[in-house]
Structure 1
Amino acid sequence: MTPDHTRREFLQRTGATLLAAPMAARPPREPKPQPVAPVGIARCGPYDVKAVLRELELLADRIGGVRDLVGGKTVAVKVNLVGDVHQATLGKPANRTYQVHPSVVLATAALLDRAGARRIRFVESTHQTTPFREYLRDAGWDLNALTAFRTPVEFEDTRNLGLGKRYHAVKVPWGGSLFPGYEINHAYLNCDAYVSLAKLKNHATAGVTLGMKNNFGVTPIALYGQHEPKEDSTHNRAMFHDGQDRPADGLPQELDPASPRRPTYRVPRHIVDAVGIRPIDLVIIDGVETVSGGEGPWVPGLKVQEPRLLLMGRNPVCTDAVAVAAMGYDPMAAGGTGPFPGDNHLAMAASLGLGSNDPKRIEVVGLPLDQARHPFGWQPSRRWT
């Protein structure tokens, strides 16, 4: 069987349907109106499930409730388990530094259960082949408690097809910032509400990684970790970082193959594309214990931070903007300034009408922003714009 035949068979099996030909770069768009929604902040610490749940319920009430969002519905919750759950750093386990803590996961499940969710599905795109439930146990998750709720709770690794039979083609609503469309795992479409359960921390390339950056992982590495589709891939999505590789023939190709190859150009654009193909209905950010200086221990210079914060909001841009302000940064900073080593993805999302990144326009409920502010102090050592 020839490689071309194998590729065609794979794309037919996975349901790839979007045009693969490169598209011309689009002219700059006019800024669109920026919707706003309240963002809640709570002080919380240490990681006690009852305390976290109490604060999440108060935050949910203060932002207008979540029952209308999740009641009677299937809810997918994308968690941040970037890296390796076994890799400790700075004398602390991964879940107390750069990954979402199991207590916040369990409290989130309880919140959704009490709000009447019909089904809860925790999803993440890992870079390993260990059975997902085993991997979650290694991360400290209490699977017995998570599956004891009235609401059924499921778990799926979305790095490949997972439990699905085919991938699903989705187009970026505004035509795309980097690609016009993508193929994604069924779990991101077979849900009625979608939650980004993120960590409050810096990112070496994007500046910050919060609710929107957590969505980066909705694109499966089986398709986007290398040119040829590979279901057992554990690679990174390098094509979204350096652009040295491209998706397989039959998948949507880059809008402008001549665009810059630098990660600080590409990563922000993929972040906003990812929010376009899988809009975020609710953001919950674990800022109880975390790190500054980067997204994980592979980035040198991390420092322990203990903001003792939880944040929640219905609009991802607004929520991330308030979180950035709580970290002591300006979410409206120009690209290449403040925490952003390159382009500011919050500003890009705001210009597309996905939400406001102006803290002065966003109502903060619960703990006032001035009291919540915990300056991270990190600045990129190099900048590219």
Structure 2
Amino acid sequence: MHRHMAPGISRRHFFAAASATALPLFAAAPAPAAPVSIARCPDYGTALTPTLKTMFDQLGGLGRLVAGKTVGIKINLTGSPRQRLGNTPAELAQYTHPAVVGSVVRLMGQAGARRIRILEGCFACDDPMEEFLIEVGWDPSPLLNAATMVDMENTNTLGKGRKYARFKTPNGGHIFPSIMMNHSYEEVDVLVSLAKLKEHATCGVTLSMKNMFGATPLTIYGDHAGKDDADEATARGGRGTIMHAGARQPAAIAEPERDPRSPREDKYRMPRIVADIAAARPIHLAIIDGISTMTGGEGPWNGGRLRAVNPGILIAGTNAVCTDAVGTAVMGFDPMADRGTPPFEYCDSSLKLAEMHGVGTRDLSRIEIAGLPIKDAVFKFRV
């Protein structure tokens, strides 16, 4: 086996993946760049809200982005509430911390947001998000009361809407020519991805772009999705069958993938799907919670070198690729790396693939850093 070849991928598929990544599939115009703010924040206490406000001011101010608008905030609640990294609470390892969610909601309300919707495809269920948060051990009331007109939606299903929204992927997409999502993602004027600073088993890193993978409805892309229309009774399980493995196509309400002959290997497919989602439904504000997190994977289910850590860092930017590139660098990795180099030892780079879509640049030399310099913020996830 080739020394960079992931277990379970054939030699033919490995070289197909490598050559596909190298080909200039899309327009070669320079991808846009945008400033990224980095700040130290030691914990989730009193310094959190003023630190975030300063960061948003460095990016041009929240009012410019959200005043008079409906804002959707996609948070990260990956995995079951019962899955913990030892005795570490989920919000200190794999979940976006509720204090960060509350601070962002509060600041957006103060900046004039007309309505705020907290969104997530809650793990393997169709329960209301409020119920899921109670199961996690969180009180949803402070989040709902952090500003006026705040609500929540579990986007695994159609939820409170009448139809799903379709978002076309530029240039036909790497995998999917369009992505179906809950109606909320079409109804909001501004989309915020509020992610955790983590590594990922099939994408190398999971930051603001990978966070959006959880926006795909289980009724369409889930393991038990119907074959034809979206089946609202099947919002359970994961997305491994359709998304990771490509063992079948999504429900027929969605467009099938562009090339069913492409590699059926998760480390080829997942980075491309992440890039497709980032291009199809753009993120207007990316925020990465790196105050307390974990190394070695995206959740306690990943084997190996898992540990809870406290980098004490927050990152924010108005371009998802630029923000994730800075997040990757803060973790001690090179955002220009490709398959075969950490953190992309066995997978393609979603940063590169999104850059190919023209979403943004991963070249740090083109990204203006506000606040803390990257060199002073680095917390190496691989020791």
Moved more, 347-356 or 261-270: 347-356
Task: Say whether residues 1:81 and 2:86 are aligned partners.
Answer: no
- Could you tell me how far 1:329 is from its partner in structure 2? 0.1
Counterpart selection for 1:95 from 80, 83, 91: 91
**What corresponds to 1:236 in structure 2?**
238
Once the two structures are superposed, the pairs formed by residues 321-360 of structure 1 within 5 Å of their partners are: 321-340=325-344, 341-360=346-365
Task: Say whether residues 1:254 and 2:236 are aligned partners.
Answer: no
Partners of 2:147 and 2:247 lie apart in 1 by 47
Partners of 1:350 and 1:338 lie apart in 2 by 18
Q: Could you report, residue by residue, the CA deviation over 1:246-295 in whole angstroms, capped at 9, with x for unpaired residues?
A: 12334301100100000011001100111122110001110001111111
- Could you tell me how far 1:140 is from its partner in structure 2? 4.4
- Could you tell me how far 1:103 is from its partner in structure 2? 0.7
Task: Say whether residues 1:206 and 2:207 are aligned partners.
Answer: no
Counterpart selection for 2:181 from 178, 181, 184: 184
Once the two structures are superposed, the pairs formed by residues 29-48 of structure 1 within 5 Å of their partners are: 29-48=26-45
- Could you tell me how far 1:129 is from its partner in structure 2? 3.9
Partners of 2:288 and 2:106 lie apart in 1 by 16
**What corresponds to 2:17 in structure 1?**
none
Letter in 1 for 2:366: R
Task: Check the 8 A contact 2:170/2:357 in 1, yes or no.
Answer: no
Partners of 1:71 and 1:39 lie apart in 2 by 21
- Could you tell me how far 1:27 is from its partner in structure 2? 7.9
**What corresponds to 1:315 in structure 2?**
319
Task: Check the 8 A contact 1:32/1:351 in 2, yes or no.
Answer: no
**What corresponds to 2:308 in structure 1?**
304
- Could you tell me how far 1:174 is from its partner in structure 2? 2.2
Task: Check the 8 A contact 2:218/2:225 in 1, yes or no.
Answer: no
**What corresponds to 2:5 in structure 1?**
none
Task: Check the 8 A contact 1:87/1:93 in 2, yes or no.
Answer: no
Identity of matched residues, %: 45
Q: Secondary structure at the match of 2:208?
A: coil
Letter in 1 for 2:300: P
Q: Secondary structure at the match of 2:171?
A: coil
Partners of 1:318 and 1:27 lie apart in 2 by 20
Moved more, 206-215 or 32-41: 32-41
Task: Say whether residues 1:161 and 2:161 are aligned partners.
Answer: no
Q: Secondary structure at the match of 1:333?
A: coil
Task: Check the 8 A contact 2:175/2:273 in 1, yes or no.
Answer: yes
Task: Say whether residues 1:172 and 2:174 are aligned partners.
Answer: no
Q: Secondary structure at the match of 2:47?
A: helix
- Could you tell me how far 1:227 is from its partner in structure 2? 4.8
**What corresponds to 1:60 in structure 2?**
56
Gaps of 5+ in 1: 1-25, 379-385
> Structure 2-normalised TM-score?
0.88
Once the two structures are superposed, the pairs formed by residues 108-119 of structure 1 within 5 Å of their partners are: 108-119=104-115
Counterpart selection for 1:288 from 288, 291, 294: 291
Letter in 2 for 1:193: V
Partners of 1:92 and 1:376 lie apart in 2 by 18
Partners of 2:137 and 2:42 lie apart in 1 by 18
- Could you tell me how far 1:87 is from its partner in structure 2? 2.4
Q: Could you report, residue by residue, the CA deviation over 1:117-143 in whole angstroms, capped at 9, with x for unpaired residues?
A: 000000000212443212113334443
- Could you tell me how far 1:231 is from its partner in structure 2? 1.6
- Could you tell me how far 1:359 is from its partner in structure 2? 1.2
Counterpart selection for 1:69 from 56, 65, 69: 65
Task: Check the 8 A contact 1:124/1:157 in 2, yes or no.
Answer: yes
Q: Secondary structure at the match of 1:41?
A: strand
Partners of 2:109 and 2:253 lie apart in 1 by 40
Q: Secondary structure at the match of 1:68?
A: helix
- Could you tell me how far 1:84 is from its partner in structure 2? 1.4
Partners of 1:87 and 1:334 lie apart in 2 by 31
Q: Secondary structure at the match of 1:98?
A: coil
Once the two structures are superposed, the pairs formed by residues 11-50 of structure 1 within 5 Å of their partners are: 28-48=25-45, 50=46
Q: Secondary structure at the match of 1:34?
A: coil
- Could you tell me how far 1:349 is from its partner in structure 2? 1.2
Partners of 1:32 and 1:125 lie apart in 2 by 34
Q: Could you report, residue by residue, the CA deviation over 1:58-106 in whole angstroms, capped at 9, with x for unpaired residues?
A: 1001111121110010000000000012322132011110111111111
**What corresponds to 1:6 in structure 2?**
none
**What corresponds to 1:364 in structure 2?**
369
Task: Check the 8 A contact 1:32/1:352 in 2, yes or no.
Answer: no
Gaps of 5+ in 2: 1-22
Counterpart selection for 2:47 from 20, 43, 51: 51
Q: Could you report, residue by residue, the CA deviation over 1:35-65 in whole angstroms, capped at 9, with x for unpaired residues?
A: 11111111112211x3211110010011111
**What corresponds to 2:14 in structure 1?**
none
Partners of 2:312 and 2:84 lie apart in 1 by 20
> Structure 1-normalised TM-score?
0.88
Q: Secondary structure at the match of 1:174?
A: helix
**What corresponds to 1:382 in structure 2?**
none
